[in-house]
Amino acid sequence: MAEFSADKVRALMSRMGTQFIYAVLADMQPMSVKIGIAKHPEHRAFSLQSSCPVQLKLLGYVPGTKTLEKTIHGILRKQCVRGEWFSYEGEAKRIALAIATADLDALDACFN
């Protein structure tokens, strides 16, 4: 039986048109995190970096939908810095870390 790494599974899902919820951390004070959606999160992070004066780090990504992204943004609305950027603390940090570790149970717990 063939073995599949997480990277291979994500690449296959991407080719199938799957979208991913991603978290990108901005290395600045105060720290901010962008929660967004993209078919190719690595490309999106690279694109963001090319127009950003501070170092960005793609923390991770999980399969998701536009509805999930909007739900997360709604939960984090009080932490919004600008657009899809949120203060990297409290609930935003919890959600970003759940995305970074692909811990879907922890991500699900953020909605309860």
The DSSP string of the chain is -----HHHHHHHHHHTT--EEEEEEE-SSS-EEEEEEES-HHHHHHHHHHT-SS-EEEEEEEE--HHHHHHHHHHTGGGEEETTEEESSHHHHHHHHHHHTT-HHHHHHTT-
Q: Specify the number of domains making up the chain.
A: 1
Query: Tell me, what's the pLDDT at 90?
Result: 94
Task: Tell if the pTM clears 0.75, that is, is over it.
Answer: yes
Domain annotation covers residue 1: no
Query: Tell me, what's the pLDDT at 33?
Result: 96
Domain annotation covers residue 39: yes
Query: Tell me, what's the pLDDT at 52?
Result: 80
pLDDT tens digits along 21-51: 999 999 887 899 999 999 999 888 888 888 8
Domain annotation covers residue 33: yes
Domain annotation covers residue 15: yes
Structural domain harbouring 15? 6-109
Domain annotation covers residue 91: yes
pLDDT above 60: residue 1? no
